[in-house]
Structure 1
Amino acid sequence: MIPIPGHARVWIATGHTDMRKGAASLGLLIQEGFGGKPNSGDLHVFRGRRGDLLKIIWHDGLGASLYSKRLERGKFTWPSAKDGVISISASALACLLEGIDWRNPQYTFRPELAG
């Protein structure tokens, strides 16, 4: 799990992004395309066209880190807007990374007996 600081915000770039981009190219997209600051300490999340790959860029004050996650089955739940960014909570990001619909998480059954 990514160590998310308490003051950090999580930004999702709606639509799809070219997943061949690295940390520098994504940082430039944050700065010029969305008007954000890539070195602010916030997490910026991008999704590919197929929907099964995520990239997260995060600057911790010393340097930028680039995380990626690919789902074996299914797709990441993503906002329907074509361009722009939205902010979500750290717990919604945790659901997103697990492949859970972060907009409407459902309680799952837990067995009460061991046998």
Structure 2
Amino acid sequence: MADEVVIALTPRLRVWVAAEPANFRCGIDGLARRVRQVLAEDPFSGALFVFRNRRHTAVKLLVYDGQGFWLCQKRLSQGRFRCWPRELPGQVLAPHALAVLLSGGDYAAAGGMPPWRVLA
């Protein structure tokens, strides 16, 4: 029986979604470089970085778990990811919005509760 690994979409997880398409011939190193150069973020931060291909038919997820990088890819059998953040260079999404985005839905319409903040 194979071991299963799950990337937990907890409320504290920072999810960065790159607005511009990425070259999917890039592996971990190429996408980590893109995180540094385009998103101006640290790929070792533990945040989840999401990229799409030019045709909107596939996404790649890159995350560092403290020991190494995970690179996951989802390619649609048919159709395209219709709703994608357009803010350049990228946008931070709530984890529940990422789940909607990866299901092909409209992440902006996902709503959800606003983050709770302590009032002074």
Note whether the superposition's TM-score is higher than 0.5: yes
Is it true that 1:78 corresponds to 2:84 in the alignment?
Answer: yes
1:60 to 58, 62, 65: 65
Normalising by the residue count of structure 2, what TM-score does the alignment of the two structures yield?
0.79
Q: Residue 22 of structure 1 aligns with which residue?
A: 27
Normalising by the residue count of structure 1, what TM-score does the alignment of the two structures yield?
0.83
Counterpart Cα distance in 1 of 2:95 and 2:69: 19
- CA positional deviation for 1:44: 0.3
Query: Structure 2: which 5+ runs fail to align?
Result: 1-5, 111-120
Match of 1:65, SS state, is: strand
Counterpart Cα distance in 2 of 1:52 and 1:2: 21
Q: Residue 92 of structure 1 aligns with which residue?
A: 97
> After the TM superposition, which of the residue ranges 49-58 and 29-38 deviates more from structure 2?
29-38
Match of 1:91, SS state, is: helix
Is it true that 1:102 corresponds to 2:118 in the alignment?
Answer: no
| Identity score, percent | 35
Counterpart Cα distance in 1 of 2:7 and 2:44: 16
What does 1:30-41 correspond to in 2, within 5 Å?
30-41=35-46
Offset from partner CA, 1:52-87 (integer Å, 9 cap, x none): 100010001111100100111221121234x40110
What's the RMSD between the two structures over aligned residues?
A: 1.8
